């Protein structure tokens, strides 16, 4: 589902980067004017557009454009799902929406969870239109500044002017009507402590956030794998026509759910084996990854990050504390 176009855009961005320095403090500042996301909207269902990110990790060459966001034209305006990794991305997204569906008011912006690639474009939207479950808002308020600092370190000038803006509306209903369109709202967790899923009841498109990845390795910095697996089972049961995963191509067959579940099951089992054999974290990082996951973007990088995220808790779970009794 990835066309050749995004890769040529990425090559162009890398050439821009190489021709202007890396943007780090050591090399001097990059020319802020030359950075542009060049976003592209793909109509995945009637009046529903996805803006696909690269199946990569945050790096200067992609400006953090690694995430899927979406916008929908409803009868009375526009609904947006997630806002990208920076203020600059948010501005590019707004311009793309205006080019695609000119003159429409943005009525609602949903944030699926508090990871920075999904909400740091919020500041270009009206806060009273941005909505998420209270737990997502709490997570943004608790961790948003730290995420932003980290992306400034990773992405340099791409992040210029980016500030944390939490949603102004806390959701708890299981559905809401926005501009003449009904949306079903699902409150799940597992990828993080609050993962919000939205279904457009008219088109049947399910916006899964990062509970589902496709052809891109799942990320686990806040993962609870049993909860995540249960959430995927819940998503499997939901009536839908298409899934837009948080990362990867849009998915008519539910492959993102089975692929993510398969990967998480292997990851958990593999790390439990590693702990059981007494491996160190470094040894666990060197373990082979099954060939069936070879097509997942950045799989080795994400696997190594997952070792860091998950290994200590598994050691605590699997190693029993031995009381030493002294005579
Ligand atoms: Zn995420």
How far apart are the CA of 105 and the centre of ligand 1, in A? 28
How far apart are the CA of 223 and the centre of ligand 1, in A? 9
Which pLDDT belongs to residue 14?
A: 42
Is residue 128, in this structure, part of any structural domain at all?
A: yes
Is residue 65, in this structure, part of any structural domain at all?
A: yes
How far apart are the CA of 219 and the centre of ligand 1, in A? 7
How far apart are the CA of 139 and the centre of ligand 1, in A? 12
Is residue 59, in this structure, part of any structural domain at all?
A: yes
Is residue 8, in this structure, part of any structural domain at all?
A: no
Is residue 208, in this structure, part of any structural domain at all?
A: yes
Query: In whole angstroms, what is the distance from residue 325 CA to residue 327 CA?
Result: 7
Is residue 5, in this structure, part of any structural domain at all?
A: no
**Consecutive 10-residue averages of pLDDT for the chain (327 residues):** 42 41 42 77 98 92 94 98 97 97 98 97 97 98 95 94 97 98 98 98 98 97 97 98 98 98 98 96 97 95 96 90 69
Q: What is the pTM of this model?
A: 0.87
* CATH code, domain carrying 75: 3.60.15.10
How far apart are the CA of 319 and the centre of ligand 1, in A? 29
Which pLDDT belongs to residue 246?
A: 98
Task: Give 228's Cβ-side CA count (13 Å radius).
Answer: 28
Which pLDDT belongs to residue 13?
A: 46
Is residue 16, in this structure, part of any structural domain at all?
A: no
How far apart are the CA of 175 and the centre of ligand 1, in A? 23
How far apart are the CA of 247 and the centre of ligand 1, in A? 9
Is residue 238, in this structure, part of any structural domain at all?
A: yes
Q: Give me the number of domains the chain comprises.
A: 1
Q: Nearest Cα to 164, choosing from 139, 135, 141?
A: 141
- Secondary element (H or E) of residue 50: strand 48-51
| Domain range enclosing 250 | 31-318
Helix (H/G/I), strand (E/B), else coil: 266: helix
């Amino acid at each position: 589902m990835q066309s050749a176009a995004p890769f040529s855009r990425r090559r162009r961005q890398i050439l821009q980067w190489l021709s202007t320095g890396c943007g780090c403090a050591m090399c001097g500042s990059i020319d802020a004017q030359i950075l542009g996301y060049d976003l592209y909207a793909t109509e995945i269902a009637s009046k529903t557009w996805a803006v696909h990110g690269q199946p990569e990790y945050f790096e200067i060459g992609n400006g953090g454009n690694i995430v899927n966001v979406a916008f929908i034209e409803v009868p009375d305006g526009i609904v947006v799902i997630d806002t990208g990794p920076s203020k600059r991305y948010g501005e590019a997204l707004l311009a793309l929406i205006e080019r695609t569906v000119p003159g429409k008011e943005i009525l609602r912006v949903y944030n699926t969870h508090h990871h920075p690639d999904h909400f740091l474009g919020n500041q270009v939207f009206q806060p009273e239109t941005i909505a998420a479950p209270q737990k997502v808002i709490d997570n943004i308020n608790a961790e948003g500044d730290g995420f932003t600092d980290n992306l400034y370190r990773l992405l340099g000038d791409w992040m210029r002017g980016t500030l944390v803006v939490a949603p102004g509306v806390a959701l708890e209903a299981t559905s809401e009507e926005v501009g003449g369109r009904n949306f079903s709202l699902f409150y799940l967790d597992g990828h993080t402590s609050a993962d919000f899923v939205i279904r457009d009841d008219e088109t049947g498109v399910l916006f899964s956030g990062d509970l589902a990845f496709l052809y891109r390795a799942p990320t686990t910095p806040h993962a609870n794998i049993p909860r995540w697996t249960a959430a995927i089972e819940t998503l499997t049961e939901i009536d839908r026509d298409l899934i837009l995963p948080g990362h990867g191509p849009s998915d008519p067959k539910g492959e993102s759910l089975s692929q993510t579940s398969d990967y998480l099951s292997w990851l958990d089992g593999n790390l439990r084996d590693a702990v059981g054999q007494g491996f160190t974290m470094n040894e666990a990082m060197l373990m082979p990854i099954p060939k069936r996951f070879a097509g997942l973007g950045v799989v080795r990088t994400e696997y190594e990050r997952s070792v860091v995220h998950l290994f200590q808790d598994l050691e605590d779970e699997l190693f029993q504390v031995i009381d030493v009794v002294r005579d």
